[in-house]
Structure formats: C-alpha cells, structure tokens
Amino acid sequence: MDLRRLRYFAVLAEELHFTRAAGRLRIAQPALSQQIRALEQELGAALIDRGGRGCALTPIGRLVADEASALLAQAAAARERIDAAVRGQGGRIRLAYTRSARGGRVDALVARFRAENPYVEVLAETGWTAPNVAGLLAGRLDVAFVRPPVTEPGLRCRFVDTEELLLAVPADHPLARRRAIPRELAAGEPAVMWPRENGPGMYDRIVGQVWPRGGFNLVRHEPDDEQLLRAVAGGAVVAAVPAGRARALRVPRVRLRRFTAPVPTVDIALAYPAQADNPAVMRLLALLE
C-alpha cells in the first residue's frame, strides 16, 4: 500500500474538506482528488462520500483512517530508528537485573540510559548473579547487574553501588527490641538463606561478614529475598538481607535491624564481556564514569 496516498487520506479524514486538506499537504486539489481515487481503486471500496461543501467518511473510510494513522506512526518510528542507527544512536542492548538489587541507583541508571538513548531497544530480564554471568559468557546477554565478586576471566565489572546488610528478625524475637545487633548475638540463631549456587560470591561475603567467627546456623533454604522475609515472618528464623530490597518489600511481622560496626555491606556491579564492542553497551558504561 502506498504510504504517500495513506498520508494524503489521513489528512483528508481529519479535515473532511478537499481544499483545506490540499492546503495542508501543499498540493493542488485535483492532485489530491486523483490520489484518493487511486487509493479507493487499490482497496476496491469507496472511502469518501463527496458532497458539495465538504465530504464524509464511509464506514470503510473510517476504518482505513484509523489504520492509516497507526501505519503512518509505525513507519515514522521505524524511520527514526533507522536514522538513529545510521547516526550511531540506535541499536539493542540485552540487559539482566539481579533479583536482590532493584530500585535505587540500579533503576536510576537504566532510566537515565533510556532517556538519553531513546532509539536503543532495551531487552530486560531478571535473574540471580550466577545465571546472569552464564548468560554473559554464552553471549545471550550484553550486560548484567551482578553481586561481586565475579571472578570469570572473560568478564569485567564496573562498580555501581554499595548497600548495607540488615538482619531480619521476627517481630516478637528478643533481638527485635535492639536498635543495633552485635554479631555475636546473631551467632547460632537459626538462619534462612537462598542457595549458594545462585550467587556464590555474594553468599560467601554475607556469611563472612555477618558470622565472621562461625555460628552460621543454616536451617532452611528459600529461593529469593521475598521468601526469606516471609520465612522470618513465620517466627522461626533470621536472615541477613540487603537493605534496599528488604525495605522495599515491607513484609509484615518482620523487623529490620542494623548491625553494630563494622557495618556489613554488599556491592552491586555491572558486568559485561571483556571484548564488548556494542556501542550501546559503551554508552551505558560511560554513565558510570
């Protein structure tokens, strides 16, 4: 279907007057009439009821007007994407978030990238650090938010943020009455944690900071932070969780308590292949400089 004829018809459908539509299009009225008749012949249906002082759309004309607007908008957007690619501003980036780090600087970074690169298609998903690393190594992902340390030699990491670890305790637990919890009081408490294979580096860092002298009494596994907190709400276990995620979830009957100094922390980083050559990835990384 001729997009020029569709554009002419879309303007006529708005004006419902050949002279005014021709003026907007900056063409002669007979030329507009000729193009509309050619479109009607192409479609095999009348689109316009022509009157002495104006015109009206036929039922088919109203349908074509709606479809024409959608097609023209799609064509214009496609042209913008093509032009952006030619100027080096387009492309695609396959990105993975990590489940324990949404919000804060992570979401702000991606939002800024989208705003500054409107013609880059962002294909986003969410996973644990270990699957995200596997996706990068397999070439399925271009960048991924991860919880360091990440030691794979084929990947590089850029620091994004640090957040505090809190101890989640049941609302009626004696530790809930404290404003800050010494590590020795957490030792031996029945604890819930997600499986180590989800993110070995972060798992070991949490255990090493919260239970540095032993006493990590793991009694239960849950798949993610939300389920950890729900297990804590049940009243039988405690959990060490990143502050941002824990405060965002706001699970009832759970109290979040800080540790005494030194405050335990976990980092969030943006990982990417060492040989990355995707211009969109380079622009995302540049926002971290």
- What DSSP line would sit under 165-217, residue for residue? EEEEEETTSGGGG-SEE-HHHHTTSEEEE--GGG-HHHHHHHHHHHSTTS--E
The closest of 40, 50, 59 to 1, measured between CA atoms, is 40
- Residues belonging to the chain: 289
Tell me whether the CATH fold assigned to 92-159+268-286 matches the one assigned to 162-266. yes
Q: Does domain 162-266 have CATH number 3.30.559.10?
A: no
Per-domain boundaries in the chain:
3-86, 92-159+268-286, 162-266
Q: CA Rg, the chain, in Å?
A: 30
* pTM exceeding 0.75: no
How far apart CA 241 and CA 288 sit, in angstroms, is: 25
| Cβ atoms within 10 Å, residue 2 | 12
Instruction: Report pLDDT for 6.
Output: 85
How far apart CA 27 and CA 129 sit, in angstroms, is: 60
Instruction: Report pLDDT for 85.
Output: 62
The answer to whether 192 touches 207, Cβ cutoff 8 Å, is no
Dihedral sign for Cα 281, 287, 288, 289, please.
positive
How far apart CA 247 and CA 244 sit, in angstroms, is: 5
Instruction: Report pLDDT for 65.
Output: 87
Fold of 3-86: Arc Repressor Mutant, subunit A (1.10.10)
Fold of 92-159+268-286: D-Maltodextrin-Binding Protein; domain 2 (3.40.190)
Q: Which residues contact 254 (CB under 8 A, 6 or more apart)?
A: 168, 169, 170, 171, 229, 232, 233
pLDDT less than 70: residues of the chain: 1, 51-53, 80-90
Distances, alpha carbon 43 to alpha carbons 9, 149, 157, in Å: 13, 62, 57
Amino acid at 91: G
- 223: DSSP letter: S
Phi, psi of 52 (to 5 degrees): -70, -40
Instruction: Report pLDDT for 104.
Output: 83
Instruction: Report pLDDT for 88.
Output: 53
Instruction: Report pLDDT for 69.
Output: 84
Instruction: Report pLDDT for 73.
Output: 81
